[in-house]
Homo-oligomer: A and B are copies of this chain.
Amino acid sequence: MTIGTSIPRVDAYEKVTGRAQFTDDMILDKCLVAKVYHASIANGRVVSIDTSKAEALEGVVKVVTFRDVPDTKFPTPGHPWSVEPAHQDVADRSLLTDRVRYYGDDIAAVIAEDEVAASRALKLIEVEYEEYPPVTDPLTAMKGTTPPVHEEKPDNILAQSNYELGKVDEALEASDVIVRGTYDTPIIQHCHIENPVSYAYMDKGRIVVVTSTQIPHIVKRVIGQALGIPWGKVRVIKPYIGGGFGNKQDVLYEPLNAFLTTQVGGRTVKLELTREETFCNTRTRHSIHYDLVMGVRKDGRILAKDMTAVSNQGAYASHGHAIVANGATAWRHMYEVENVRASAYTVYTNCPVGGAMRAYGIPQFAFAGECFMDDAAYKLQMDPLEFRKMNVYKGFFADPFLTPIAANTNHVVDCMEKGANYIHWKEKRAAYARQTGPIRRGVGMAIFSYKTGVWPISLEISGARLVLNQDGSVQLMVGATEIGQGADTVFTQMAAETLGLDPADVHIQTNQDTDVTPFDTGAYASRQSYVTGNAVKQCALQLKEKILAYARTLLNDTDRELTLDRKMIYMDGEEAISLEEVAMESYYSLTNSSAITAEVSLQTKDNALSFGACFVEVEVDMKLGKVKVLDIIQVHDSGTLLNPQLATMQVHGGISMGLGYGLSEQMLIDPKTGRVLNGTLLDYKLQTALDAPDLAVEFVEEPDPTGPYGNKALGEPPAIPTAPAIRNAVLHATGVAVNANPLTPQKLIDAFDQAGLL
């Protein structure tokens, strides 16, 4: 039994000692360096470009512009592709463009012998623009602009979707209390440690790209699409990566990098973004505006809900509508409400591009939805915990449209009770009820539900390969990616579990290479331990079967039952032959040798909802507008814990991101120029280790029947509930409902002032 034990991370030693090789560590010899020339306006068109001075600079090898790239539009999001057009993404990107859609759009690129020459050359490129006024607010943009951000969408609406369950208007009519709320979330950035970096070269007429990505097999496909070449001509290698959080679930500059090597005869070209480029030119978490309505019976029972959500997509589609739509789907989960309606819009603007970020639209949705729950409780004069308990689904429920998304197991109530006990909810709600001093305390909470994989919205496919070594240990290969989350460690445990091995005898191949690695779409959603875990399990079962079949030939084809455990094969329960002996025979038998390997490629057609709750206690300095988190706990219902220590660390990381989302993080964009005002780690206020209180984590464990080892989502959920829980605690402390995160001092002082508290 290794599932459920806290074995150390398999990559811990390499990472702690600095020995792990990241993309930039792997570049051989002297390579060429590329830099991108970014637009210095947010909306307009290039009228002329002069690269002659840049080309004349010593050390410059080549300058390419929008004129040189293929006339092909391609999609960038790291979604599973499908042969069905309805499951394909919007193709609105060019490698380089003369139509500038946001401040920093990509117009040209310089390839030089070194970074200094490349940087200098950028300054020598001369561009004249025809400028249009930028639009950064989606509510404005959706009224239409001239010209539109993309010609194909005159009203700038990339997509719109809606649904209705029951009869919302009638139910609202019949309600005792109507609650309304408007909520806004900011644009934030992932701030992974390692900036996007790749290098590309040609080998035997094919393009090889080594890149810090979560999705090597998808990068391969998108490079093929972007360059208009057969996908088999592309090879993508993914080394250790320094975080992604969804930003690297997008195909960023790999297609341009791939194109650039073809422009210099296949020489190695490196393309590494600066931190400033990472802020402006990669992806962000969408800002979403929510208008919510709720009809409640006077006993607190919710009768109807209505949501309108408008998402600021920025200049290109990327993951686009899937983000806001994910929240619209979650709007009908968790709380048992008969009449539910949602309408969601995704709108192009001249902002940096929104993409995937940990929990994919749900942190935004949960901020709105869980603030709204507290606002409703406040209006109903109910305890927010009791209000939630009354309305949540208990036990099984299923999504009405998206079968098989369902709560196969559901312990959201247990999570709430554990969290409430920890934080002393009842006592503190009472104790902090009526405060008046300059320092006030409050407790708040939020809950959530979250899907594990993406089926049936997208295809779920995963693969694994196992090779039996001579000593009875195994090599494990997966196409899924370790991006810091511990995937390699739990895959190792899974193979060990099914094969009855010590995890030290499972050697996982950490790097993915699309030429040899089993096909898998990579790290996103909270899918890998669920979907790829399925492949690892089936592959291990297949290997075990082959081992036992081979052992059977050595044991003279006995038809007695053979089992494998701890490197021993048992016959009817008695030791028969060691695994090592079987392995050695399979390699080296003079009469019957055949090395034992197994490989599977599997589609997963299951999905499962995870649940959890967050409780916080805060102290608010009314005069400074400062919120101090005194205590915080998250309690998760994510099925069987594969590795409790890693699970706890996932939650720690998620809480930390949530603290930033709740209190300090936001990308500020100047509405006049469309320019990012704080795109550096100095100006953008990330939470650091010093900002974090002690983080408490608890779990309610029940094996999910669809998870390969009883597990369901835990990767993203911890990023969801912290921000609304903090906001609700501040509401408790002060009586002031702040409807937009982050709760910065400036925003709180304004709100306290408006409430007459200052």
Q: A-side interface residues toward B, CB under 8 Å? A: 10-11, 13-14, 19, 21, 25-26, 28-29, 80-84, 87, 201, 203-206, 221, 224, 230-233, 266, 459, 461, 463, 465, 467, 469-475, 477, 504-505, 507, 509, 515-516, 518-519, 584-585, 587-590, 592-597, 599, 601-603
Query: With A28-B26, A584-B83 in contact, is A461–B203 under 8 Å at CB?
Result: no
CB of A81 to closest CB in B, whole Å: 5
A588, chain B: closest CB distance, angstroms: 5
* Residues on the B chain within 8 Å of A590, using CB: 82-84, 87, 459
Which 8 residue pairs of A and B lie closest in terms of their CB atoms, listed nearest first? A232-B469, A232-B473, A230-B471, A519-B595, A595-B601, A232-B471, A231-B470, A594-B601
Given the contacts A459-B593, A519-B587, A204 and B11 also touching, CB distance less than 8 Å: yes
Name 11 extra pairs, CB < 8 A, besides A205-B504, A232-B470, A594-B603: A80-B588, A82-B590, A83-B588, A83-B589, A224-B470, A232-B472, A232-B475, A461-B587, A475-B516, A516-B516, A593-B603
Do A204 and B13 form a contact, CB below 8 Å, given A593-B461, A594-B602? yes
Residues of B within 8 A of A469 (CB): 230-232
Q: Which of A29, A594, A596 has the most CB of B within 10 A?
A: A594
CB proximity of A477 to chain B, nearest CB, Å? 6
Chain B residues in 8 Å Cβ range of A201: 19
The contact of A597 among B21, B204, B601, by CB within 8 Å, is B601
Bound form: Cα–Cα A186–B543 in Å? 51
Question: Which B residues lie within 8 Å of A472 (CB)?
Answer: 232
What B residues does A509 contact at CB under 8 A? 515-516
**A204 x B507 contact (CB < 8 A):** yes
Smallest CB separation, A627 vs chain B (Å): 43
Residues on B with beta carbons closer than 8 Å to the beta carbon of A602: 594
Please, how many angstroms separate the alpha-carbon atoms of A603 and B13 in the complex? Answer: 39
A230 contacts which chain B residues (CB < 8 A)?
Answer: 469-471, 473
Chain B residues lying within 8 Å of A28, measured Cβ to Cβ, are 21, 25-26, 28
A87 contact set on B, CB distance < 8 A? 590
Whole-angstrom CA separation of A86 from B136 in the bound complex: 79
* CA–CA, A595 and B518, complex, Å: 8
List residues of chain B with CB within 8 A of the CB of A477. 516
Nearest-CB residue, chain B, relative to A88: B588
Q: Is the CB of A599 within 8 A of B601?
A: no
**Bound-state Cα–Cα, A559 to B21, Å:** 51
Using A475-B515, A509-B516 as known contacts, say yes or no to A19 and B601 having CB atoms under 8 A apart: no
Residues on B with beta carbons closer than 8 Å to the beta carbon of A266: 19
Question: How many Å lie between the Cα of A164 and that of B231 in the bound state?
Answer: 62
Closest CB in chain B relative to A504 CB, distance in Å: 8
Contact between A204 and B519 (Cβ–Cβ < 8 Å)? no
Name the one of B470, B515, B594 contacting A221, with C-beta atoms under 8 angstroms: B470
Complex Cα gap A21–B203 (Å): 10
Closest Cβ of chain B to A25, distance in Å, is 7
Interface centre among A205, A470, A599 (most CB of B within 10 A): A470
Q: A232-B507, A593-B459 are in contact. Are A81 and B599 (CB under 8 A)?
A: no
B14 to A204, Cβ gap below 8 A? Answer: yes
| Closest chain B residue, CB of each to CB of A231 | B470
Q: CA A587 – CA B87 in complex, angstroms? A: 13
Who on chain B is nearest to A462 by CB?
B595
The listed residue with most B CB atoms (<10 A of its CB), out of A29, A204, A465, is A204
Task: Evaluate contact between B81 and A588: CB separation under 8 angstroms.
Answer: yes
Q: Which residues of B contact A470 (CB under 8 A)?
A: 221, 224, 230-232
Q: A203: nearest residue on chain B (CB-CB)?
A: B14
Closest chain-B Cβ to A512's Cβ sits at a distance in Å of 11
Cα separation A145 to B368 with both chains bound (whole Å): 92
Cβ A206 vs Cβ B507 within 8 A: yes
26 interchain pairs, CB-CB under 8 A: A10-B204, A13-B205, A14-B204, A19-B266, A21-B28, A80-B588, A81-B587, A82-B588, A84-B590, A205-B504, A230-B471, A231-B469, A231-B470, A231-B471, A232-B470, A232-B472, A232-B474, A232-B505, A459-B593, A461-B593, A461-B594, A461-B595, A463-B595, A518-B595, A519-B587, A593-B601
CB distance from A481 to the nearest CB of B (A): 16
Q: How far is the CB of A283 from chain B (nearest CB, A)?
A: 24
Bound-complex Cα distance A25 to B491 (A): 33
Closest Cβ of chain B: how far from A287's Cβ, in Å? Answer: 32
A601 vs chain B, min Cβ distance (A): 4
Q: How many Å from the CB of A265 to the closest CB on chain B? A: 9
Contacts of A205 in B (CB 8 A): 13, 504
Interface centre among A206, A593, A595, by most chain B C-beta atoms within 10 angstroms, is A595
CB nearest neighbor in B for A597: B599
Interchain CB contact under 8 A, B232 and A459: no
- Cα–Cα distance between A87 and B589 once the two chains are bound (Å): 10
Closest chain B residue to A469, Cβ basis: B232
Closest to A461 in B: B593
CB distance from A242 to the nearest CB of B (A): 17
Which chain B residues lie closer than 8 Å to A516 at the CB level? 465, 467, 475, 477, 509, 516
Q: How far is the CA of A19 from the CA of B202 in the complex (A)?
A: 9
Bound together, the chains give a CA A308 to CA B602 distance in angstroms of 62
A666 CB to closest chain B CB, in angstroms?
A: 38
User: How far does the Cβ of A711 sit from chain B's closest Cβ, in whole Å?
Assistant: 23
| Bound Cα distance A472, B232 (Å) | 8
Q: Please give, as numbers and ranges, the residues of chain B lying within 8 Å of A593 by CB-CB distance.
A: 459, 461, 601, 603
A585 to B, closest residue via Cβ: B83
Taking CB atoms, residues of chain B closer than 8 Å to A504 are: 205
CA distance in complex: A601, B21 (Å): 32
B residues near A25, Cβ cutoff 8 Å? 28-29
In the assembled complex, the Cα of A11 lies from the Cα of B87 at a distance in Å of 39
A538 to chain B, nearest CB (A): 11
Give min CB distance, A299 to chain B, whole Å: 44
> Could you say which residues of chain B place their CB within 8 Å of the CB of A595?
461, 463, 518-519, 601
Given contacts A10-B204, A14-B203, contact A515 B507 (CB under 8 A): yes
Shortest distance in angstroms between A286's beta carbon and chain B's nearest beta carbon?
A: 26
Complex Cα distance, B475 from A11, in Å, reads 29
> A11's closest neighbor in chain B, by CB?
B204
Contacts of A459 in B (CB 8 A): 588-590, 593
Question: In the complex the two chains form, what is the Cα distance from A596 to B585 in whole Å?
Answer: 29
Q: Give min CB distance, A681 to chain B, whole Å.
A: 26
- Docked complex Cα distance between A595 and B19 (Å): 34
Closest to A591 in B: B603
Q: Roughly how many angstroms separate A587 CA and B221 CA in the complex, as a whole number?
A: 11
| A204 vs B87: C-alpha distance when bound (angstroms) | 40
**Measured CA separation A81–B603 after assembly (Å):** 40
Chain B residue, CB-CB nearest to A470: B231
